[in-house]
A and B are shown apart, each in its own frame.
Chain A
Amino acid sequence: MEDVQVVAMLVRRCIAGDAAAWEEIVQNYNRRIYNICYRFAGSADDAQDLTQEVFIKIYRTLSSYDTHKGAFATWITTITRNLLVDHFRKTKQDRMTDSLDAAPSDHEDAHPLSDRIEDKSAPPDSRVRSRQVGETVHAALAKLSPELREAVILRDLQDMDYRDIATALRVPEGTVKSRINRGRAELARLLQRTYRQVM
């Protein structure tokens, strides 16, 4: 986890106009923010745009970050999440609710389900297979409602604790836990349905 004092120092240097300190912040957190955006928005292009927007927002509001109120990572996650909510409202999830088959991705090559059936008979190459599984799970994740999706992403992909998730999502911890449970369960049902169709 982050060293509170190191981060506080970085933020202070940044506010004072130290461009190298800002670059360090970007270097340290771009991966995390990009991954949250990618898993939430579904597409690599959107994730790239959103990550850039998140950093523009962070850059503009950096002086409002209070080190005593919580971890920097939680603060930037909150900003990321708020921007994702805005993005979701704008796009109305029309691109995300496409079928599991039509989920092109820059990171996991999209194969139609028919290809995956053929793969079952072929000798499984574990790396290809795990990539295909990842691709299917990624597509299923995009079908979850945004409330469940964000909770599951922050817990299971970002390893955040419930309290920090509750802070970022501005809901009680009990609600966070409930959403995580329902998100996981809903995802499993979606995937069970997908794989049942294949077999």
Chain B
Amino acid sequence: MPEQPSHGMQCHEFDILLADAFDGILSGSQLDRFQAHARACPACGPLFADAEAGRNWLKSLTEVEPPAGLVENILASTTGIATSHLRHLAPSTRPLTSWLERLQASIAGLVDPIWGTVRQPRFAMSFGMAFFSLSAVLSIAGVKPADVRQVSLRPAAIRHAYYNTQARVIRYYENIRFVYEVESRVREFKRATTPAEPAPEKQKERKNDTSGEPEQKQERNYSQSDNHLILAGAPLAPSDDLPVVSVTTYRRFV
């Protein structure tokens, strides 16, 4: 902006007074000098007109409504307690009379903060990945959820299970390279799921069960890659050694 004095006012001074002029707090000789500069200065005159127009445009921007659930999300991500639960805590609410209500409230108190965190997209992704990794590791190690019920906790049995698992894992990693590992997992998954297919009458029930659909789709994808399997280098583990429980099934199990 050219610093030319016009009617006893510098452009810099005009710039400072411009905001005050819109607020209507200029008066007397100051206002006269301001107006004279606006008329005479080739830079400040247009600035005045444009700033006034811009100020009027901005008046068309009204306050927007925050999205529903924003407060709940904020509370969940800070205190980990949802609004509804805080209302429970408020002293004005009626006391919880029945033992069932008290039990529900105490369970909610324990679960809500954790659930609130898990529901956050960034955490949900992490939890999902952690769970996937865990189930993949368990699956490779040959752990079957069905076996969990029959697990013996005697020290000897635990030691036995430990060495068994270790031997299986070592065998697994020694024999195959990474690519073959992935491919054989696909094959194992197929084998593992085929005998576990439900009886025909149960299949009908499954059609209505939408939760089963992604798994079927996934299997279709897996079978596509099955066509490109190079079996020559991939060691064939005995079929009873194959982990029966696939990643997806395990997820459903939990």
Q: Does A143 reach chain B (CB closer than 8 Å)? A: no
- Contact present for B58 and A152 (CB under 8 Å): yes
CB distance from A148 to the nearest CB of B (A): 10
- Contact present for B78 and A177 (CB under 8 Å): no
Number of interface residues of B (CB under 8 A): 37
Q: Does B100 reach chain A (CB closer than 8 Å)? A: no
Chain A residue nearest to B57 (CB atoms) is A137
Task: Give the A-B pair count, Cβ closer than 8 A.
Answer: 128
- Contact present for A187 and B16 (CB under 8 Å): no
The secondary-structure label for the interface of chain B is helix
Q: Chain A residues with Cβ under 8 A from B77's Cβ?
A: 52, 55-56
Q: Chain A residues with Cβ under 8 A from B20's Cβ?
A: 177
Contact of A177 among B18, B61, B64, B74 (CB under 8 A): B18
Contact of A181 among B18, B57, B61, B74 (CB under 8 A): B18
Question: What sequence of 0s and 1s flags, for each residue 142-170 of chain A, a beta carbon within 8 Å of any chain B beta carbon?
Answer: 00000000001001110000100000000
Q: Does A85 reach chain B (CB closer than 8 Å)? A: no
Number of interface residues of A (CB under 8 A): 48
Q: Does B236 reach chain A (CB closer than 8 Å)? A: no
- Contact present for B53 and A188 (CB under 8 Å): yes
Q: Chain B residues with Cβ under 8 A from A138's Cβ?
A: 61
- Contact present for B83 and A23 (CB under 8 Å): yes
**Which residues of A pack against B, CB within 8 Å?**
19-20, 22-23, 26-27, 30-31, 34-35, 38-39, 44, 48, 51-52, 55-56, 59, 106-107, 130, 133-134, 137-138, 140-141, 152, 155-157, 162, 174, 177-178, 180-189, 191-192
